[in-house]
């Protein structure tokens, strides 16, 4: 078994299935981790959440999603029509709220022009390019949307991925996004379910042990690690 597959097995054994991406179920206002197929409305919720969580803790995003649900505006048409100031106020807890308000409305415009049902028919490469053409959507956000909203087998790279795997000695900390992504995609089977779970496990591991000031002493995968802390 390859090293990255072994790491995956260890993390899965340690933390269990994560049930990503958290979405709001009917009759509720808070997103929950259940896994399973999602509705078109929930696809948009994932897209919005991917934007809102940029450089921000998910806890702060949950509060915003709660408010958006309570105001009944977490839909493409409603985000498109809502006043910028009103939207900014609802998502205040996520930080960068003025920029994110614009980003959400840009995305709603895009999805109004290219409905999700039509985007489903696009090849992954073309869908990725379209998402990246939206202001405020960079590679990580685009790939999160591809993987968690459209179930495309794309590996998501974030700051946690770089931190964990550079400490493990598998990548270099200055490797750019595409290089890290290619490393994972060249060394794992192209399986959407695997990519979904692996990224979620990376986030969990980074939060619990591989924090900025790491917790190597109690880390469950320290045997695999060179402990190359900055």
Partner DNA sequence: CGCCAGGGCCTCA
Partner DNA sequence: TGAGGCCATGGC
Instruction: Give contact residues for DNA (rule: CB under 7 A).
Output: 20-22, 49-50, 53-60, 63, 92-93, 95-100, 135-142, 144, 148, 158-160, 174, 176, 203, 206-207, 211-213
Residue 198 corresponds to which tokens in the numbers above? 């692996």
13 vs 15: CA distance, rounded Å: 6
Q: How far is the CB of 53 from DNA (least distance, A)?
A: 4
- Give the shortest CB-161-to-DNA separation in angstroms: 9
CB-wise, 3 or 84, nearer to DNA? 84
**Two tokens, residue 133:** 């053409």
Strand partners, 24: 31
Residue number with CB closer to DNA (33 or 77): 33
Residues 6 or more apart whose Cβ sits within 8 Å of residue 12: 197, 201
Shortest approach of DNA to residue 1 CB, angstroms?
A: 27
Nearer to DNA, 86 or 135 (CB): 135
- In the complex, least distance from residue 98 CB atom to DNA, rounded to whole angstroms: 3
The residues near 230 (Cβ < 8 Å, ≥ 6 apart) are 173
Rounded to whole angstroms, what are the CA distances from 146 to 122, 170, 175, 205? 11, 25, 22, 22
- The residue among 11 and 139 lying less far from DNA, judged by its C-beta, is 139
Q: Torsions phi, psi of 191, nearest 5?
A: -130, 115
């Amino acid at each position: 078994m390859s090293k990255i597959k072994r790491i995956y097995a260890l993390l899965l054994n340690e933390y269990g299935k994560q049930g990503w991406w958290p979405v709001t179920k009917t009759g509720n206002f808070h997103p929950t981790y259940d896994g399973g197929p999602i509705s078109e409305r929930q696809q948009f919720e994932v897209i919005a959440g991917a934007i809102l969580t940029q450089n921000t803790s998910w806890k702060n995003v949950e509060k915003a999603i709660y408010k958006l649900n309570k105001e009944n505006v977490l839909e493409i048409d409603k985000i498109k029509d809502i006043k910028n100031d009103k939207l900014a106020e609802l998502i205040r807890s996520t930080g960068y709220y003025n920029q994110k308000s614009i980003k959400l409305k840009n995305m709603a415009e895009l999805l109004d022009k290219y409905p999700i049902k039509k985007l489903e028919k696009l090849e992954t490469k073309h869908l990725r390019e379209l998402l990246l053409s939206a202001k405020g959507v960079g590679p990580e956000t685009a790939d999160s949307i591809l993987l968690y909203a459209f179930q495309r087998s794309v590996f998501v790279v974030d700051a946690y991925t770089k931190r964990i795997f550079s400490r493990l000695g598998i990548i270099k900390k200055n490797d750019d996004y595409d290089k890290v992504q290619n490393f994972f995609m060249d060394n794992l089977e192209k399986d959407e379910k695997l990519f979904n779970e692996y990224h979620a496990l990376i986030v969990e591991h980074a939060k619990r042990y591989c924090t900025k000031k790491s917790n190597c002493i109690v880390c469950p995968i320290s045997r695999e690690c060179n402990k190359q802390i900055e």
